[in-house]
Structure 1
Amino acid sequence: MKIVIDEDKCCGAGQCVLSAAEVFDQRDEDGIVVLLDAVPPEEQRAPVEEAAARCPALAIEVLP
C-alpha cells in the first residue's frame, strides 16, 4: 500500500488524523495534512482507507 496526498486539495478538516494518527498529522500553521508514513504496514490499511473515505476534500489516495 502506498499513500499519495494532494496538499492543494486538503482543507485541513483533520479527519485523516482522527482515523489514522500513526500515518497522518497536520501542520500547525494551516492544518494541511502531513504524511508521516507514505508506505505504512499492511495492518494500517483499514484506518488509512477510512481516513481516505472520510476526507471531505478527497485529498488522500490509497494505492495497492
Structure 2
Amino acid sequence: MAELWKSLPSWVRNIVVPIIALVVAWKLMWFVIGVVAGLVGFLINVLLLVGIAAAVVILVKKAAKS
C-alpha cells in the first residue's frame, strides 16, 4: 500500500485524495443525518398513532358507560 501511495504523483496525493475524502465524508454525514431524521419522523408518527388510538379507546369507553 505504501508503494502505491508513493507511486502517485504529488498533485494527486495533495489535491485529489483530500477532495475525494471530503466528498465521501460529506455524503456519509448527510446519510447519517437522513437516517436519524427518518427514525425520528417514524417515532413521531408512532406516538401520534398511539395517542389517537388511546383517545378513541377513552371516548368509546365513556360513550359505553352513558
Q: Same fold (TM over 0.5)?
A: no
Larger Rg: 2
TM-score of the pair, normalised by structure 1: 0.23
* Structure whose residues are more often helix by fraction: 2
* Structure whose residues are more often strand by fraction: 1
Higher RCO (Cα < 8 Å, 6 or more apart): 1
